[in-house]
């Protein structure tokens, strides 16, 4: 597997001993900046479903709840700790004045979609709480969208563990190897979509097609 074996052993022990609360705790930690591999967490929980010790529906919901709690913690850190820093040092990053207000307006228009889609993807799901917190997105809406986006993410990983049975570590290891490939592919597609939306309707003379 690509993740460290001691981490996997710890995950197994905590879930086996702590049951569903242990699973929720690990998924909450995964949603923070701590290096807890969600693939291993949900994959092992899925394997326990294969053995009849867990239920796949409960595993999915508990994983999504834990993930949402971790995302909310990161949201609060960004909302109450990140904004003062951004106001003071944002000019170094080009995020001050009109540009910061433009970013906030963009998040007002597209934040719901961004939060939901980001929760479906590895890596991005760990990053999205920060901009949401910085622009003070409605916390209830953020929590709901994070929960809804986490459900298919958790279900997919748990199902791999359930379907793979004793071979779950190998199957999850393959998924873990291609996390960044998936994220980069989505980023390219979104970039292409943005360019087409912004410039696709213009004719060669620079005007808009009619």
Show me where the domains of the chain are located: 5-176, 178-210
Query: What pTM was estimated for this model as a whole?
Result: 0.75
Predicted local distance difference test score (pLDDT) of residue 44: 92
Taking CB atoms within 8 Å and a gap of at least 24, the contacts of 50-53 are 50/161, 50/162, 50/163, 50/164, 50/165, 50/168
> What does the block give as tokens for 156?
């997919």
Which secondary-structure segment (H or E) carries 181?
Answer: helix 179-199
How far apart are alpha carbons 166 and 187 in whole angstroms?
34
Predicted local distance difference test score (pLDDT) of residue 101: 65
Classify residue 116 as exposed, middle or buried by CB count within 10 Å of its CB (0-12, 13-18, 19+).
Answer: middle
Predicted local distance difference test score (pLDDT) of residue 57: 96
How far apart are alpha carbons 64 and 59 in whole angstroms?
8
What are the 10-residue block averages of pLDDT along the chain, 210 residues in total? 63 90 94 85 93 95 96 90 64 54 70 86 83 87 95 92 87 65 48 53 50
């Amino acid at each position: 597997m690509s993740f460290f074996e001691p981490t996997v052993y710890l995950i197994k022990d905590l879930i086996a001993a702590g049951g569903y609360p242990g699973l929720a705790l690990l998924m909450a930690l995964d949603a923070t900046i701590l290096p807890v591999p969600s693939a291993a967490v949900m994959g092992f929980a899925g394997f326990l479903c294969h053995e009849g010790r867990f239920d796949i529906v409960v595993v999915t919901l508990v994983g999504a709840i834990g993930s949402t709690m971790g995302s909310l913690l990161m949201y609060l850190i960004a909302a109450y700790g990140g904004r003062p820093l951004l106001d003071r040092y944002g000019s170094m990053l080009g995020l001050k004045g009109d540009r910061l207000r433009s970013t906030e307006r963009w998040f007002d228009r597209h934040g719901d979609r961004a939060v939901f889609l980001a929760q479906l993807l590895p890596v991005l799901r760990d990053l999205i709480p920060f901009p949401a917190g910085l622009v003070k997105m409605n916390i209830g809406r953020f929590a709901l969208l994070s929960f809804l986006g986490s459900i298919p993410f958790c279900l997919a990983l748990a199902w791999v563990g359930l379907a793979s049975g004793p071979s779950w570590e190998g199957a999850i290891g393959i998924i873990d190897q291609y996390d960044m490939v998936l994220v980069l592919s989505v980023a390219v597609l979104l970039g292409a979509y943005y360019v087409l939306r912004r410039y696709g309707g213009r004719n060669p003379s620079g005007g808009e097609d009619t």
